[in-house]
A and B are shown apart, each in its own frame.
Chain A
């Protein structure tokens, strides 16, 4: 069976991270919205003050061809060994303290069903418990039933349903309007 490793992302991984961010955005039909650059990912993730953390899933180069053939994949992109990632950071709940926030979580289609996603979630859970976080939060699109099932099977609660929270955003143009008043 294919083996894979999970490890913390390093500066050299930023191009793979950006590639996977774009693949996930493409899956959501939003690829043109990704304007982040490798340079920003590098500064923001590997500078003095990281604004995010990443776990990457890698398959050994020799294994990759075996997996692609076994799963009859039409993926013809040689040389990639990073095939999945999770991006997270720490947030703060004023009632209970530190939380782990799962921002992005994606495994390339050809590598699904191998337990990589479950392993990533396991690793994140360990990180959360070790850093004394009270819980892990994340958002899911309401029409993404597969993901909702994946998370609910593992005990996730839908806070939008249970507690009526609605997510808001004030974009740059409106922030600027407020700064000049």
Chain B
């Protein structure tokens, strides 16, 4: 199967949302995806992009077939106050039927190139502790489990807590 990697464009938001939902379904969390195509468009392709995407697209059986988006990675830049810029890999998914073809490895290679070009000191991401295939995929490539080695725990203030902490809106 021929495929190519490219930067996402505004026209890709519906495929991006489709793949986000497929990955959420795989994690049995599909109903938790409340993001819309409109938000993805504003947030990714406005004046200040809040995320970037690389898309994997197959050519199709013949030249008459439309290309199909079969995988993606969503990332953004974060900042480590000890060493500076980092590339943060937020989401990474290749459709089931397209696995084992090296698409995932190619995407990671593309992201590694990008991280080096933008002078990032590392790439970070979270993995669910019970996701063995992903844990192995990353560890094979040198990823270290900082939660294990350094004892970091990820915390969240949800909207309710934020509103409680913020100054109440003027009446």
B-binding residues in A (CB < 8 A):
21, 24-25, 30, 33-36, 40, 44, 51-52, 87, 89-98, 101, 103-104, 121-122, 125-126, 128-129, 133-143, 148, 151, 154-161, 163-179, 181
**Measured CA separation A34–B17 after assembly (Å):** 38
Contact of A155 among B109, B152, B161 (CB under 8 A): B161
- Could you tell me the dominant secondary structure of chain B's interface residues? mixed
Min CB distance, B162 to chain A, in Å? 4
Q: Which residues of B contact A93 (CB under 8 A)?
A: 90
Give A165 to B158 CA distance when docked, in angstroms. 17
The complex places the Cα of A175 from the Cα of B88 at a distance, in Å, of 13
1/0 per residue, CB under 8 A from A, across B33-69: the answer is 1110001000100000011000000000000000000
- Whether A44 touches B123, Cβ cut-off 8 Å, given contacts A91-B76, A155-B164, is no
Closest B residue to A163 using CB positions:
B128
Cross-interface CB contact of B35 among A97, A140, A171, cutoff 8 Å: A97
Q: Are B143 and A156 in contact (CB under 8 A)?
A: no
Give B121's nearest chain A residue, CB to CB: A172
CA distance A35 to B122 in the complex (A): 14
Which chain B residues lie closer than 8 Å to A21 at the CB level? 81-82
Q: CB < 8 Å: which of B130, B156, B165 contacts A125?
A: B165
A98–B43 contact, CB under 8 A? yes
A164 B122 Cβ-Cβ under 8 A = no
Q: Which one of B77, B109, B143, B164 lies within 8 Å of A168 (CB-CB)?
A: B143
Q: A168-B127, A176-B116 are in contact. Are A44 and B152 (CB under 8 A)?
A: no
| A155 x B157 contact (CB < 8 A) | yes
Verify A103–B78 contact, CB threshold 8 A: yes
